[in-house]
Amino acid sequence: MGLSYIFLYIWANSSSSVVYVVYKDVGASGFVDLYWIISAGNDGMKFEYIAKDDKGKATLASGECVELTFEDLKKDVPNAVIRGAVQMKTKIWLLGPIEKHYSGRDVYGILVPSTARLYMNDGAISKDEFIEVCKLELQY
């Protein structure tokens, strides 16, 4: 699954401003478009993973999103490993939980905006090991 393109859209209403960042999965089957949508507003950051086709859209997962550095994550989860080029000061967005692993534990995602890559801890080895699942690119 390869995610592609970030589209930034600012929407304001009378009580707050919400910033949306949308990542499109260009590696999807071709029958459906998949999107990761990150929103930030007065009530914090949230994520939504949606599938969209010519008949409509469906939410596949949604939940909390937290912006921190990899160093901050390591303070809370000392055994955390991201299998990729991520430095301690790299800004990350922690998404989740996204789903349940077959073992029953929660699966989280780490989206790295600077490299446009998505990692998940859904492997069999460790709940603290994040493996790259998608490469992202800016959407217009």
Of 52, 28, 47, 20, the residue nearest 36 (C-alpha): 47
pLDDT of residue 3: 27
User: What's the confidence (pLDDT) of residue 109?
Assistant: 94
pLDDT of residue 8: 30
Measured between alpha carbons, how far is 8 from 97 in angstroms, rounded to an integer? 24
**Which amino acid is located at 55 in the chain?**
K
Label residue 26 left, alpha or beta by phi (over 0 means left) and psi (-120 to 50 means alpha): alpha
d(CA 21, CA 113) in angstroms, rounded, equals 10
Strands (E), 55-105: 56-69, 81-83, 91-100
pLDDT of residue 16: 58
Condensed to tens digits (0 to 9), the pLDDT of residues 4-29 reads: 222 333 333 334 588 888 887 766 66
What pTM, to 2 d.p., does this model score? 0.81
Low-confidence residues in the chain, pLDDT < 50: 1-15, 140
